[in-house]
Amino acid sequence: MMFTVAMLAILITMGLALARALLGPTVYDRIAAVNMFGTKTVLLIAVFAFLSGRTDLLDIAIIYALINFIGVIAVLKLVEQGNFHTDGNNDKADTK
């Protein structure tokens, strides 16, 4: 019961974040919303692990937390520089 309520709340939040990701006027809105969506996914997996009584699923939540972070950073790098091969140290102006 307790976990069902928690899952419902997380799902509502994920829906709101997804709506912002679809509506978001700028690309940064979308990235921030996807980041929030990913954080909520981690929580959803953790709650689901307790709901189903299989606490092994927490390992997947840990991995998802790390992948979400790296994915957001990678997408930001792609958006900001337009490619993956230039390093971050050079002046941003000349890659534009």
Q: Interface residues with other proteins (CB under 8 A)?
A: 2-3, 5-6, 8-10, 12-13, 15-17, 19-20, 24-26, 28-29, 31-33, 35-36, 39-40, 42-43, 46-47, 49-50, 55, 58-59, 61-62, 65-66, 68-69, 72-73, 76, 79-80, 92
Residue partners of 17: CB distance under 8 A and separation at least 6: 33, 34, 36, 37, 40
Instruction: Please state the closest distance from residue 84 (CB atom) to other proteins, in A.
Output: 15
SS3 state at 91? coil
What is the CA 85 to chain-centroid distance, rounded?
24
